[in-house]
Amino acid sequence: AANVCLKGVTFSYDNAPPVLEQVDLSFSRGFYLIKGPSGAGKSTLLRLLCKLDIPVAGEILYQGVPYSRWDTGLLRTKLSYVQQMPVVLPGTVKENLMLPFKFNQLRSAPRPDDDRLREWLDYFLLDGVSLDSRADKLSVGQRQRLTLIRSLMLEPEMLLLDEPTASLDPQARELVEQLVEKLNMERGIGIIMVSHNDFVPRSVPARHIYVEGKKVEERKYDSD
Ligand code: ADP
Ligand code: ADP
């Protein structure tokens, strides 16, 4: 069954012409790549999916319930959004990882203990990074992996990733891509990822969604 469903969604900023018009689409817990030209509305689509923006017409449903009836905080524990540039606050790795418990009042997920946090650092191959390390001293690739771990703290069902590898060098990019695949494959977390490069997951089948000319549609991947 589809987790997130858009029905006739139209969106425009203020009084500008619509960025997206009459979009019908559904997402399950699979792996989705969002592609399309710059300025087409890919980020806007993600912002709509995590209720940072609200459609001017049509509706979005999560588990069959319209977004308007979902508590926004609760919805954002289910659909966790990671923006393009990794944002970490000055402070330790542990303080950064625990931020979701501070900012999201619902805290439905159990608070992880230090051992659990260290397991996450291992899972994301953050060797040599300890819970007491200064987060703002990490490399950009490490910070991006830290923000991914942080996005998992409230145990989301889906991750919404806006070009998570845009600011990374090829090596760091490949690592993040593999880790995102692993999250989908091993933990069943749905992935909706805006991706400019020609990344195609190796271990999981991906669906390719194109945003262009105010429309959003699934297409067969064409490597040309
Ligand atoms: P993409 O992610 O595909 O590059 P965006 O979703 O960022 O595209 O932007 C789609 C269009 O909406 C662009 O024309 C952009 O300039 C415009 N836009 C984005 N954010 C805003 C905003 N906050 N206010 C007004 N226009 C915006
Ligand atoms: P992205 O392509 O990742 O959305 P942008 O550089 O297009 O990044 O946008 C960066 C920020 O500026 C976003 O918060 C976006 O909403 C805002 N923005 C983009 N275009 C406009 C616009 N035409 N007017 C106002 N804000 C905009």
Inter-residue contact 143 to 86 (CB < 8 Å): yes
CA-to-CA distance for 16 and 25, rounded, in angstroms?
Answer: 23
The predicted structure's pLDDT at residue 223: 62
Averaged pLDDT of the chain: 93
Segment 89-134, tens digit of pLDDT: 999 999 999 999 888 766 667 899 999 999 999 999 999 999 999 9
Residue 175, pLDDT > 90, answer yes
CA-to-CA distance for 157 and 188, rounded, in angstroms?
Answer: 8
Segment 140-157 shows an average pLDDT of 95
Decide whether any atom of ligand 2 lies within 6 Å of the 44 Cβ: no
Q: Ligand 2 pocket: which of 43, 46, 193 to mutate (most atoms <8 Å of CB)? A: 43
The predicted structure's pLDDT at residue 66: 98
Ligand 2 mean position, distance from CA 40 (Å) = 11
Inter-residue contact 190 to 121 (CB < 8 Å): no
Residue 211, pLDDT > 80, answer yes
Segment 182-201 shows an average pLDDT of 92
* DSSP label of 69: G
- Which pTM value belongs to this model? 0.90
Instruction: Tell me the CA end-to-end span of the chain in Å, nearest whole number.
Output: 32
Ligand 2 nearest-atom number relative to CA 47: 16
Residue 120 or residue 167, greater confidence: 120
Ligand 2 nearest-atom number relative to CA 162: 3
Ligand 2 mean position, distance from CA 44 (Å) = 9
Segment 140-158 shows an average pLDDT of 95
The predicted structure's pLDDT at residue 107: 60
Residue 4, pLDDT > 80, answer yes
CA-to-CA distance for 6 and 172, rounded, in angstroms?
Answer: 33
CA-to-CA distance for 150 and 144, rounded, in angstroms?
Answer: 10
Residue 1, pLDDT > 70, answer no
**Mapping DSSP to helix (H, G, I), strand (E, B) and coil, where does residue 52 land?**
coil
CA-to-CA distance for 76 and 6, rounded, in angstroms?
Answer: 17
The predicted structure's pLDDT at residue 92: 98
Ligand 2 mean position, distance from CA 214 (Å) = 16
Decide whether any atom of ligand 1 lies within 6 Å of the 150 Cβ: no
The predicted structure's pLDDT at residue 55: 98
Residue 224, pLDDT > 60, answer no
Ligand 1 mean position, distance from CA 69 (Å) = 26
The predicted structure's pLDDT at residue 110: 87
What sign results for the dihedral spanned by CA atoms 108, 110, 111, 115?
negative
CA-to-CA distance for 159 and 182, rounded, in angstroms?
Answer: 13
Q: In the chain, which ranges are continuous DSSP H helix?
A: 42-49, 72-78, 93-97, 99-103, 114-123, 140-152, 170-187
Segment 46-69, tens digit of pLDDT: 999 999 999 999 999 999 999 999
Segment 40-47 shows an average pLDDT of 97
